[in-house]
Every structure is written in structure tokens, then in C-alpha cells.
Structure 1
Amino acid sequence: MGIQAGAAADSAAPPEPPPPPPAPLYFPLRWESTGDQWWYATPVDLAAANGHYELVRALLVADSNLLIKLTSLRRIRRLETVWDDHPDFLHAPRGRAAVARGLLHDCETRNGNSLIRAGYGGWLLYTAAAAGDGEFIQDLLRREPFLVFGEGEYGVTDMLYAAARSKNSEVFRLLLDAALTVVPMRSHGRGAEVEEVFRMEVMSRAVHAAARGGNWEVLRELLLHCGDVLAWRDIQGSTVLHAAAGRGRVE
């Protein structure tokens, strides 16, 4: 019996080695866009997404044209698709916001902030909204209330969309309230009718932004004041359902 047991033990297969640890995840540096076209991330994109302000600052000193890439809405939208939407890279918006804060602080002058004067206020507010940073947003709106309507390639719809993406409902409400508060000033005293049209336009953009950004809490609140969901249409005639479906928001 003992000999047979020993023989059986000798013939048993050795235990399999444990599986290797998973490889660390890094930001993808390139991806295919259309056909054979490839779109590349740049070092300043990577540094900003990781919140490395000193590195971003050094890169901007070496090549000031990188500020155009850093603040480009088109590039940020691409990065949001391939980085920010990935569960392992949720820190990317907060990293960009930290870099934006640093740049804002370093651009303070006696005559105001040179970064905002140069037309980058829209990027600053979008970045703060995407990170869900209410304190940063309040600081920017105290400096310039009209930033909520955007600047350059950024508009009020982009601001609300960024806030919806952050899933921070308080930040979304903060921006929406700021936009509705500024509405009377934007109507230039042309009457209550113009003011109401302007207000409804802002609300329509807010509904579509909440649907595209996937903030269901805010979207439900907004739709409670509207009997017909299909009544909210954008300039192209798309409904809220189009906006949600276009971003794959099946919920």
C-alpha cells in the first residue's frame, strides 16, 4: 500500500505556477480614427491628465504653442472618449483641473489674470466642470460671470455637458443657476418676452447636456417641469432621446 501510494504521488503532475500579475495600465498613446489615420496624444496631454503641473509648465516654456493643444476642445473630446470614459483613468479630469488651477494662479497680474484676458477662460471653466470642482467654478465665475456662456470654441452647452459628465449634480446646478442668473443681463433690457425665449433656450441646452453626459438625477429634475419629453429639441431638431442614444446612454 505504501509503495503504491508513493508511486501515485510521484506520477502526479506538479502544481501549475500562479498566473503572472496583470500588466499595469497606461494611457493609450495613439488610436485609429478614420481609415488609416492615427491620432496621437502628446506629452503635454499625458502630463496634464496625470496632474503634473510642473512638467506641463516646463513643456509650455519650451514650446508655447503647446497651450493651443492643451486647451483645444476637439482634442479634449477625443481624450475624454479614450481616456476619461475608461474606469481606470477616472483621475484624468481631476489632473487637468489641477493643472488649470496652477496656470490660473501663475498668470495673476496687477491688471487681472492674463490667462483669462487671453481668451482661455472657457477652457478653465470647462476643465473645472469636467472635474466636478465646484470651488474652482465659483472662483472663475466671481472673476467673470459671463464665462458660463463660454469663450472661443467653448459654449454654454459644453459647460453643462462637462458638468453632466462629472456626475456631480451640485456642479451642474451651479452652472445652470449661473446661466439663468445672467440671462436678464444678456437680454439687454429688451423685454420679458426676449428674456423668456433666452431662458427656455438655456433650459433646452441643459436638458440635452444632461442626457448626453449621463446625469440622470439632474435630467429627471429638469424633465419634471416638462410634460412632453419630445418638446425639448436642439437646433437640428434632435430630441433628448437622440442626445442620449448618440452617446450610448441606454439607461
Structure 2
Amino acid sequence: MRISKAVFPAAGLGTRFLPATKAQPKEMLPLVDKPLIQYVIEEAVEAGIRNITIVTGRGKNAIEDHFDVSYELERVLEERGKEELLNQVRMVSNMINVSYVRQKEALGLGHAIWVARDAIGNDPFAVLLGDDIIHSQVPCMRQMIDVFEKLQGSVIAACEVPHSEIHHYGVIAGTPVEGFGGRVYRVRDVVEKPPADQAPSNLAIIGRYILTPQIFGFLEKTRSGSGGEIQLTDGIRLLL
């Protein structure tokens, strides 16, 4: 099975970045010369994924505009001889096949993934979150796809964090898989934001996943937690 589809959840309210996100999506905040979402989409493209479903909500029109064709802007750049900028603008609108799914209410990451089920169908798929920009020689998602192709199971990206910070993250409990040099673990459990003295490890989940379509059924069975949100971590626990 190949990974050719990805989901990018972008319907959250971005409250941690207020007031910067009051009038613009968190995903469109600039990092140097590009919005956050573009870095993550480029990672997916470099991993061989071109079919992207972006889950949006109210106030997210700027995301759709960013990946759409801007004929007026292209015409002005062409008339002024701004070839380099013109090529960059065209690259953004041409690099992916994008579709949009509306999450009518921000009910958590798990719910955002679930509303993309019809777009994904029965194929395994990637999930990329804009909260994490990952710099590596081999794109993180490319590394994860390589693991998926060898083991044919869901894959979660994780990194080591100090125990003093572990309560901010979902955490995995696992055992090393032979043949991967201690870099791949068989996940036995996932715990959402545990106290440091109860954390099963210091391996924190970061915003990259490869999931099989079975996750949709488990998310449908997942009970909502605080604030009425459905957590992806809870759905993954049922998948184990």
C-alpha cells in the first residue's frame, strides 16, 4: 500500500497565538518568507504526497486563497518582469491536488480527522499538523512512509523531550523494533499529557501520523472529553 493522500487539519481557533490569530488563521502566520502551512505541505510533497485534504472552518478563507491561482497577481508580476516571484507564486498553486472539508465546529483533532473520512476512503493516509515545523535532511514524513512500507502499520512521529515538559504532550509507551537502530518502537500505549511522574517515557508525539482507514471507525466510537473534543490520541489507543 502506498501513501498518496494526506489530511491537514486547519479548523482550530488558534487561541494559543492570540491576538495574532484573531483576524488570520494560525496556519497562515509567516515564518521568514512563507506561511506555516506551506512548510508542512512542502514536506508532504517531498515525501511523494500530492493529494491533500485540508480541514477548514470559519475564517479560514486565506488558506484556500493561498493555494488557489491568483490570475491578477500573476499578470502583474509578468508585466513587471518579476520572473522569480512569478515562478514562486505559480509553484504554490500547482504543487498539490487540494480539496477542502469543512469542520463546522472545532471539536478536537480526532473529530477533524473523522470529517475527512469520505475524502480519504479506504486508503492509508498521512496526517500533518502545522504546529510542528520539522527540519531534517530526509523529510520526516518520508522517513515515516519508509517505516510504513516495511511494517505495514500505522506510524506516529515522536521525539525525546525533557521530563519537565512531558505534561504538554501525548506520550508513547513502546518497545524497540529490531532492525531500525533504536529509532522505531512498537507502540503499546499512548497517554495524553500525563504528569511527569506518571509518564511511561519521554517520547512525545509530534504532529505527524500515518494512519490506516480503520481509525475512522474507532474515532466514531471515541467519547468526547473536556470541552466536548474528540482526541486523536484516544482513537489511536483503540487502534492498538
Q: TM-score, normalised by structure 2?
A: 0.22
Q: TM-score, normalised by structure 1?
A: 0.22
Higher CA-based Rg = 1
Kindly indicate which of the two structures has a greater share of residues assigned to strand: 2
Structure number with greater CO (CA < 8 Å, separation at least 6) is 2
Kindly indicate which of the two structures has a greater share of residues assigned to helix: 1
